[in-house]
Amino acid sequence: MSNKIILISDDSNFFDFIEHKLELRKSDDLLMYGFDSIPENFHLLENGVLIIDSEKSKEKTLDLLNILKNT
């Protein structure tokens, strides 16, 4: 059974940096989203490990964490 790793960031450099490291874990599904695409993909966030890069998106991160607190 594969695990789901979900990366959320608006920084493409973050994705480039961490994607190569996480792709080594062949048994995991790797999903990457920008903050603006979260509402349309919210159902995918329920069963996975979230990695949030919020260096430039503090308010969006707090909003996301508030939404996810009951999942």
Q: Answer yes or no: is pLDDT of 70 > 70.
A: no
Cα separations in angstroms, 16 against 1, 26, 45 = 26, 17, 21
Q: Answer yes or no: is pLDDT of 6 > 70.
A: yes
Segment 49-66 shows an average pLDDT of 77
pLDDT band at residue 41 under the 50/70/90 scheme: low
pTM: 0.67
pLDDT of 71: 56
